[in-house]
Amino acid sequence: MESARRRVGAIVRLLRRRYPRARTSLDFGSPLEILVATILAAQCTDERVNTLTPGLFRRYPTAEALARADRTELEGIIRPAGFFRNKAKSIVGAASRIVEAYGGVVPDSMAELVTLPGVARKTANIVLSAGYGKAEGIAVDTHAGRLARRLGLSREEDPVKVERDLMALLPRKDWLDFNVLLVEHGRALCTARNPKCPACFLKSLCPSAGAAAAPGKKKR
């Protein structure tokens, strides 16, 4: 375990050096906005979400406004994000609970956030880290899960179990930005298909380096 912690420490240092301005690529100005943007980003690109949220937040600037939103109108605004009916249901449901239980203010704890409709640990972690600067866990999305497995930091497929493994390896001070560092690296080099292993600055620390190029082997 100690050697694994030293290795992940070296990985974090190199990631920070390569991506010194890593942050979520979702545009937001408040905890409510990052909450809604993260719900919209499920199975949708951040770039597309960013084209929708300015108009969405002008129309519904508060949790109270979202809680009262006409569902058909809201669905029309967010339709390009895909799965718009379910996402509209989650947004209105989350906003309603924020108003009813938290006085219109997005809660700042994991225990409270996961009581909101449509909010599981990944979304809650993003709201806490990006919206409040609080580290209660590590958001595990598609990029983070893929890279955690490739880097030998977890063998799990379930995001909650991957998060558990990462939390055991990383000190809490590294939890805040580890997701965004992995996302940056997943987009730049460690792509889902045809990862750029020869050019990767982590290859000496990665047990999967070069596996994609080997006959009969695929990167996970």
Alpha carbons 51 and 86: distance in angstroms, whole number: 19
- Reported as a single tens digit per residue, the pLDDT across 54-70 is 999 999 999 999 999 99
Report percent pLDDT > 90 for the chain: 92
Question: Where are the domains positioned within the chain?
Answer: 2-19+138-208, 31-132
Which position has the token pair 């406004």?
Answer: 65
- Reported as a single tens digit per residue, the pLDDT across 110-131 is 999 999 999 999 999 999 999 9
Query: What is the CATH code of the structural domain delimited by 31-132?
Result: 1.10.340.30
Other Cβ atoms closer than 10 A to 188 = 13
Q: The pTM is what?
A: 0.90
Active-site residues, by number, are 122, 141
Fold of the domain spanning 2-19+138-208 = Endonuclease Iii, domain 2 (1.10.1670)
Alpha carbons 81 and 60: distance in angstroms, whole number: 17
